Chains A and B, each alone.
Chain A
Amino acid sequence: MRDPQATAALSAPLPRALKDAAFAALLSLGLFLPLVGFDTVTNIRNELILQTRFGLLAVIIALIAAASLVNSLVVAPWRARRALAEPKPAGRFAGELAKRFPPIALAFVFVYPALVLTLVGFQGSTKWIDNFGIQILIYVMLGLGLNIVVGLAGLLDLGYVAFYAVGAYSYALLAKTFGLSFYTLLPLAGMLAAFWGILLGFPVLRLRGDYLAIVTLAFGEIVRLVLINWVPLTNGYAGISGVPRPTFFGIPFNASDDGFAAVFGLTFSPIYRTLFLYYLILALVLLTAFVTLRLRRLPLGRAWEALREDEIACRSLGINTTTTKLTAFATGALFGGFAGSFFAARQGFISPESFTFMESATVLAIVVLGGMGSQIGVAIAAVLMIGGTELLRELDFLKHVFGQGFDPTQYRMLLFGLAMVLIMVWKPRGLVATREPSAYLRERKAIGRDLVKEGRG
């Protein structure tokens, strides 16, 4: 009982593959000739002159033709063979991996700074701990917070960065004005963000789906514009500098006599502060994950998920959907506020430029890529997305290939989009495409994402 199409693909003849490759090359010639083949440059007399880049064009077309050949000679037969083969039962290895992965990942995150310090030494490791470790963990935290709103409650929120901004500015302004410590202001900033979450929640309660997304998007922009234009309070575009940095429970990280290094008898190095910040954000991430995990197994979390599945059924069961939605907005905003105040404390400087729509989109992409509602998925997606873009800065060797003018970071958005498209083709419901039930009678069976709804707001 062989599928004739699959059989045909299995024995893909070479001439046909060549024809396909030639067609792909022709198509890409048409597409890339105006885009890549010609380049306009201003010369020394300020004249615009047309240059041709046929070499680069040829390289691109050759690559595409080769990819087409590989696809029809290797990939397509392989896929056809796999389609013909008996469907394998879900691998036990994959199940084991899924069970073991979270503790292993957690252990790795704990020893990561030590690993970096031993491998790279004191001098080079700031970059790896700060740019990779702390940066990624901030986004994990934002992703986990937004996951409550989008993944669990099914409310599409495009303005999440507003709460991040509220948290950051709350910390910066209160710390600078009143001299309160980071540990007092962290919960306060979180609560202020949660308050703004409720404030946003009220007007948008009646909206669903696309309309909700548009209004939350506008909310995020309003907050940013207020930060830009309320100059007496926020100092506008110039931002707020000299934001107090967190101390080691009262001991500052500086070179003075009562600084951290002196107190503990170490030679001064900025790495101690970086290490401390790393473990601080790690603790915040774990707090977020723990609280979300607990909430999911409580009636409130279950009501969020029920709300995502069917709001009318929820109301018929006596669930007050208004307060349930507001708690989702408030809880998500709370964690966004925590992340924001940590961000301000880590940077020491904040400006409205850090809170653009791009940030909201990145965090939403992390949640969607990870698999809505899945915590471990969100963490993996944050590592891929943020770590991936940071990694682009490290690809200096590409300059030897493409010339000195080549800057890999400029291709960030291109790669970002490509990765999104690929993952959505490969795993349309995100990396972790199952839902863990919050309660069970005999055995905990993961639920396929095709049954789980995405929510319509």
Chain B
Amino acid sequence: MSAPLLRVEHLTMRFGGLVAVNDLSFIADAGAITALIGPNGAGKTTVFNCITGFYKPTEGRLGFLHGDAGLWDDLDRLTARGARALRRPAGRLFLLERMPDYLVAQQARVARTFQNIRLFPGLTVLENLLVAQHNPLNLASGFAILGVLGVGGYARAERAAIEKACHWLEATGLIARADDPAGELPYGAQRRLEIARAMCTDPVLLCLDEPAAGLNPREKADLNELILALRDGHATSVLLIEHDMSVVMEISDHVIVLDYGIKIADGAPEEVRNDQKVIAAYLGVAEQEVERVHAEVGL
């Protein structure tokens, strides 16, 4: 049975007087695809930014686990101790809200993509994937000191990194364009490259922010397959923000619905699809409802 990987507890994010996310709690399971859906402005991307360390939450706790589920019992102790992470032989427990963004990626290994694609347009496709492997490569080059002198095993490390990049380029169907600048790729390919780049960091949790935006139906079908392959073939858990129901309902194991920063539904895709509150949030209030209200106010 799958265990919780990410525990979001009472997450609140305020920007001045605006409450973008209000007391949100949910659990994302290891090895599952969890979807976060909701109308525009519901606070989905804010949740993402809190999880990946780009925002510091106003309130709340974000527990993240590598390894044995028994470590969750230590969560309160870790919180009380004021540390960022707990290391045990059985695994590691992180408090993401205490970590800066780059450490979330580097140590907790939470990778993300962006709603408006953020590639390195002037670098080639291959270079984009090598930048993603910066930390292991930088270590192999002795923080550039050994690398400049030409000693140490950097060449071997770089060959391995290129091999890994090729693996992901093949998985995303971009291998033919490896030496082209990323900015020259068509839109759909840029989306796939961003996923490949995130996967090159060997993530435990991959956060995809609207990966299907702007894709045509065939590309969407390919994307579904790719995301399922990440879950099944690479044991990567996925947290997904998406508007497109054909993607969400088909591949998600678990759906959380946000509206105005508040969770309004949480469950399997089937349950959520038939939830009255969700339908109201997405489609507005039903026609009869409007008539009833009109009658009440005497119109």
Contact A320 B102 (CB under 8 A): yes
Contact A441 B178 (CB under 8 A): yes
Kindly identify, within residues 42 to 96 of chain A, every residue whose CB is under 8 Å from any CB belonging to chain B. Answer: none
B119 touches A294 (CB 8 A): no
Contact with A along B159-192 (1 / 0, CB 8 A): 0001000100000000000111101100000000
Q: Judging by beta carbons under 8 Å apart, are A305 and B101 in contact?
A: no
**Cα-based distance from A225 to B275 in the complex (angstroms):** 71
Query: For the complex, is A299 an interface residue (Cβ under 8 Å from B)?
Result: yes
Taken together as a complex, chains A and B put the C-alpha atoms of A396 and B103 apart, in Å, by 64
List the A side residues contacting B130 at CB < 8 Å: 299, 302, 438-439
- Chain B residues with Cβ below 8 Å from A310 are 118-120
B158 and A452 contacting across the interface, CB-CB below 8 Å: no
User: What are the residues of chain B within 8 A of A442 when measuring CB–CB?
Assistant: 178-179
Complex Cα spacing A127 to B177, Å? 52
**Distance in Å from the Cβ of B232 to the closest Cβ of chain A?**
24
**B138 surroundings in chain A (CB, below 8 A):** 298-300, 303
B162 touches A439 (CB 8 A): yes
CB within 8 Å for A316 and B114 given contacts A294-B147, A299-B137, A452-B122 = yes
Residues from chain A with Cβ under 8 Å of B52 in the complex = 316
- Determine whether the beta carbon of A441 is less than 8 Å from that of B166: yes
Q: Are B197 and A317 in contact (CB under 8 A)?
A: yes
A312, CB-defined interface residue at 8 Å: yes
Chain B residue contacts of A318, Cβ below 8 A:
102-103, 105-106, 134-135, 201
Q: Is A435 an interface residue, CB under 8 A from the partner?
A: yes
Interface string of B107-144 (1 = CB under 8 A from A): 00001101000111111101100111111011001011
Cβ proximity bits A307-333 to B, threshold 8 Å, 1 near / 0 not: 011101111111111000001000000
- Contact across chains for B131 and A317 when beta carbons are under 8 A apart: yes
By the criterion CB–CB under 8 Å, are B121 and A453 in contact? yes
Whole-angstrom distance from the CB of B49 to the nearest CB of chain A?
A: 10
Q: Map CB proximity to A onto B178-216 as digits: 1 under 8 Å, 0 otherwise.
A: 111101100000000000011001000000000000000
Chain A residues within an 8 Å CB radius of B119: 309-310, 313
Q: B126 and A440: CB pair below 8 A? A: yes
Distance, CA A114 to CA B138, complexed state (A): 43
How far does the Cβ of A309 sit from chain B's closest Cβ, in whole Å? 4
Which chain A residues lie closer than 8 Å to B154 at the CB level?
298
A302 touches B122 (CB 8 A): no
Asked if B148 CB lies within 8 Å of chain A CBs, one says yes
Shortest C-beta distance, A331 to chain B (Å), equals 9
A447 close to chain B: CB less than 8 A = yes
| Bound Cα distance A439, B179 (Å) | 9
Please state if A315 and B102 are interface contacts (CB–CB under 8 Å): yes
A309 touches B114 (CB 8 A): no
Let me know if A443 is at the binding interface, CB within 8 A: yes
A306 close to B (CB within 8 Å): yes
Is A179 part of the contact surface with B, judged by Cβ < 8 Å?
no
Q: Nearest-CB distance from A372 to chain B (Å)?
A: 11
- Report Cα–Cα, A303/B130, bound state, in Å: 9
> For B144, what are the chain A residues with a Cβ–Cβ distance below 8 Å?
295, 298-301, 327
Which residues does chain A contribute within 8 Å of B103, judged by CB atoms? 318
Closest Cβ–Cβ distance, residue B16 to chain A (whole Å):
21
Q: In the complex, A440→B166 CA distance in Å?
A: 11
- Cβ B112 vs Cβ A316 within 8 A: yes
Contact check, B180 vs A445: say whether CB atoms are below 8 A apart.
yes
Shortest beta-carbon distance, A147 to chain B, in Å? 16
In the complex, residue of chain B having the shortest beta-carbon distance to the beta carbon of A293: B148
Alpha-carbon gap, A318 to B133, bound state (A): 9
Interface centre among A314, A317, A448 (most CB of B within 10 A): A317
Question: Residues of B contacting A453 with CB < 8 Å?
Answer: 121-122
Please measure, in the bound complex, the distance between the C-alpha atom of A310 and the C-alpha atom of B143, giving whole angstroms: 21
> Chain A nearest CB: distance from B66 CB in Å?
15
| Pair A306/B201 contact, Cβ less than 8 Å | no
Q: Does A8 contact B (CB under 8 A)?
A: no
Task: Kindly provide the distance from the CB of B81 to the nearest chain A CB, expressed in whole angstroms.
Answer: 24
**Min C-beta distance of B122 to chain A, whole Å:** 3
Q: How far is the CB of A278 from chain B (nearest CB, A)?
A: 26
Closest to B165 in A: A441
Tell me how far the C-beta of B134 lies from the nearest C-beta in chain A, rounded to whole angstroms. Answer: 5
Q: Does A444 contact B (CB under 8 A)?
A: yes
A35 within 8 A of B: no
Shortest beta-carbon distance from A429 to chain B in Å: 11
Contacts of A435 in B (CB 8 A): 122
Question: In the assembled complex, which residues on chain A have CB atoms less than 8 Å from the CB atom of B137?
Answer: 299
Which of A306, A327, A447, A452 is close to B131, meaning CB atoms less than 8 Å apart?
A: A306
Return the chain B residue nearest A445 by Cβ. B179
Hey, which chain B residues are within 8 Å of A448, CB to CB?
A: 181
Q: Which residues A110-124 have CB closer than 8 A to chain B?
A: none
By beta carbon, the residue of chain A nearest B113 is: A316
Per the bound structure, the CA–CA distance linking A433 and B51 in Å amounts to 40
Q: Is the CB of A316 within 8 A of B101?
A: yes
Partner of A437, one of B105, B124, B150, B197: B124
Q: Are A317 and B105 in contact (CB under 8 A)?
A: yes
Judge whether A451 is part of the interface by a CB distance below 8 angstroms. Answer: yes
User: A207 CA to B124 CA in the complex, in Å?
Assistant: 28
Q: Is the CB of A306 within 8 A of B118?
A: no
Whether B183 and A451, one on each chain, are in contact in the complex, defined by CB atoms closer than 8 angstroms, is: yes
Task: Please tell me if the beta carbons of A299 and B141 are within 8 angstroms of each other in the complex.
Answer: yes
Docked complex Cα distance between A307 and B274 (Å): 46
A358 interfacial by beta-carbon distance below 8 Å: no
Q: Which residues of B contact A395 (CB under 8 A)?
A: none
> Which residues of chain B come closer than 8 Å to A314, judged between CB atoms?
102, 131
For the complex formed, measure the closest distance between the CB of B186 and the CB atoms of chain A, giving whole angstroms: 14
Q: How far is the CB of A302 from chain B (nearest CB, A)?
A: 5
Q: B132: shortest Cβ distance to chain A, in Å? A: 5
Residues in B neighbouring A295, C-beta threshold 8 A = 144, 147-148
A318 to B198, CA, bound (A): 10
Complex contact A303–B134 (CB within 8 A) = yes
- Judging by beta carbons under 8 Å apart, are A316 and B105 in contact? yes
Decide if A447 touches B147 in the complex (CB within 8 Å). Answer: no
Instruction: Please indicate the chain A residues that have their CB under 8 angstroms from the CB of B183 in the complex.
Output: 451
Q: Are B181 and A299 in contact (CB under 8 A)?
A: no
Q: How far is the CA of A319 from the CA of B134 in the complex (A)?
A: 7
In the complex, chain B residues whose CB is within 8 Å of the CB of A316 = 52, 54, 101, 105, 111-112, 114, 118, 198
Beyond the given pairs A317-B111, A439-B126, 6 more chain A to chain B contacts, judged by CB atoms under 8 angstroms and listed by A's residue number, are A298-B141, A305-B122, A310-B120, A315-B105, A435-B122, A442-B179
Interchain residue pairs A-B with the least CB separation, the first 5: A452-B122, A318-B106, A318-B105, A309-B120, A300-B144
A-B contact pairs, 17 of them (CB 8 A): A294-B150, A300-B138, A300-B143, A300-B144, A303-B134, A305-B120, A308-B122, A309-B123, A313-B114, A315-B102, A316-B114, A318-B103, A318-B135, A441-B126, A445-B124, A445-B179, A447-B122
